[in-house]
Chains A and B, each alone.
Chain A
Amino acid sequence: MAFDYEKYIRPGKLPHIWCPGCGHGIVMKGLIRAIDKCGLSKNRTAIISGIGCASRLPGYVDFNTVHTAHGRAAAFATGMKMADPGLTVLCVGGDGDGVAIGGNHFIHACRRNIDITYIIMNNHIYGMTGGQFSPCTPTDGFASTTPYGNPDPVFDIAKLAIGAGATFVARTTAYHANQIDKMIVEGIQHKGFSVIEILDCCPTSYGRRNKFRSVVEMMKQHKELAVPVTAAAKMTPEDLQGKIITGILHQEEKPEYCEQYARLIDKVQAQTAGKG
């Protein structure tokens, strides 16, 4: 059955502003299907972003949404979740927003293990501002600011999140559209900080500079390079060189931040009771 996305889109908002073939639309659809599968109510769901093409997503969807400052989605989301722990809180945004300017907020949200689901659309570039390189631009890749090739090593967002303390980390790609909603559902259901990295396509600012003739070529590369985590477990590091490992990469149970904070309040109130 055709899925009724429009139930969750603000009236009159389509067509969206993203370029032809931009993967952010594929991710937005996956997010909508995931929210629908989880049966979340519009009034009890908040979607927060920073700035960038990816960060425009909340403008289209009919939930409580906040379009904040560049790189600050995790900070605003932390405040909202602390104020109302029963709210389902999701962050969405790009690689530049999340791990360049917002890298500090991102790692500390991971460390706190606050119950937020963070969806990061990694298109390897600052799409919105004309294709400057990001910490996720491949080494030797071309951006408007690396016209001779990028000398920098690349952030592996999933490894960064695991290292910083996130308790659920998954990865998929825009090509694997039917995995996007599955991974987001798992992330929402997980109690703690969940990171879903989606390798995305920016044909305009990244593809053209990096010899992809079309977005279809970019998606075919996702298809060719993807290795499910179960298959990857049987491969050598040499075989995995340059591959994209997909699926749930990490999941563990650890104390959640809002609950820890509530416990602290109870403890201090008990200690100070009658002393007022």
Chain B
Amino acid sequence: MGIPKIEIIEKYCKGCSICVEFCPTQVLQMDGFVARVVKPEACIKCMQCELRCPDFAIKVYPE
């Protein structure tokens, strides 16, 4: 089980920070008005960020 691929589609992200705030392991961080992946190795593949993003802007590929 490797590190999952987490994709943020910047042109869809509106910077609400829902994904950042509810990630249980602080994988994501806000960079101004865009979410960024900062610690992919900590991802537990819970998919909460992908489920809650209102803007179809984050995808998690757990392999």
Contact = CB atoms under 8 A, between A and B. Distances in A.
Nearest to B4: A2
B62 A23 contact: no
Contacts of A174: 52
A269 interface: no
A13 to B, nearest CB: 10
Interface stretch (A68-76, A87-95, A154-162, A212-220): A212-220
Q: How many residues of B sit at the interface, in one of the four size bands? A: 20 to 34
A219 B17 CA distance: 12
Contacts of B54: 18, 21-26, 29
B12 A15 contact: yes
Interface string A23-64: 111100100000000000000000000000000000000000
Interface in B15-30: 15-18, 21-22
A1 B7 CA distance: 12
B37 interface: no
A161 B7 CA distance: 41
Nearest to B21: A216
Most buried by A among B12, B52, B62: B52
Given A1-B61, A216-B18, A14 B52 contact: no
B21 A177 contact: no
A26 B50 CA distance: 10
A142 B18 CA distance: 24
A2 B52 contact: no
A15 B55 contact: yes
Nearest to B20: A216
A20 B50 contact: no
6 contacts: A14-B55, A15-B57, A21-B16, A26-B53, A26-B54, A219-B52
Given A15-B57, A21-B18, A216-B16, 14 more contacts: A2-B60, A5-B56, A6-B56, A14-B56, A15-B55, A18-B54, A21-B54, A22-B54, A24-B54, A26-B51, A26-B54, A29-B51, A29-B56, A219-B22
* Shortest beta-carbon contacts, A-B, top 9: A25-B54, A21-B16, A20-B14, A2-B59, A177-B51, A20-B16, A216-B21, A15-B12, A177-B52
Interface of B: 7, 11-12, 14-18, 21-22, 48, 50-57, 59-62
